[in-house]
Amino acid sequence: MTGTSPDYAAHLRDVGLRPTRQRVALARVLFGSGHRHVTAESLHAEVKATRIPVALATVYNTLNQFRDAGLLREVVVAPGRSYFDTNTGHHHHFFVEDDGELHDFPSDKVTIEGLPSPPKGTRLSRVDVVVRVRR
């Protein structure tokens, strides 16, 4: 073992969320290993497998809260297909259309130049690049 497990309760308090049993369990699964792309359903299944009771509605609530708190980023790639991404840094995605897989790629090698300025009255929020590929 290389390190102690992070103090998720403290992290949650930091962003203004009470460290409830289910929020901590969700955080553990989400942030315990490398970066991940999950759906509400897939995350729900995973957490239930850890024997901690969580309702699907709670998973949705929590994912939305984590997103709003900046802990997660939401990526929409197809109708009815919304992923939550634990990688909140600058990066883009490959989306494999056949099976719905999502893969990160770093944005530091990618240059996007010549973007027009935002429509008047608006300010830039984020630039999403999705590279769609097929098998």
Partner DNA sequence: CAAGTACTTTAGAATAATTCCAAAGATGAA
Partner DNA sequence: TTCATCTTTGGAATTATTCTAAAGTACTTG
> Which contacts qualify for 94-100: CB closer than 8 Å, 24 or more apart?
94/130, 94/131, 94/132, 94/133, 95/130, 95/131, 95/132, 95/133, 96/133, 96/134, 96/135, 97/132, 97/133, 97/134, 98/134, 98/135, 99/135
Q: According to the binding rule CB under 8 A, does residue 70 interact with its own copies?
A: no
Among 7, 21, 56, 82, binds its own copies (CB under 8 A): 82
Q: DSSP state, 97?
A: T
Nearer to DNA, 70 or 80 (CB): 80
Q: According to the binding rule CB under 5 A, does residue 39 interact with Zn ion?
A: no
Binding partner at 86 among its own copies, DNA, Mn ion, none, C-beta below 5 to 8 Å by kind: none
Q: According to the binding rule CB under 8 A, does residue 94 interact with its own copies?
A: yes
Q: Rule CB under 8 A: which residues touch its own copies?
A: 74, 76-82, 94, 96-97, 103, 105, 109-116, 118-119, 121-135
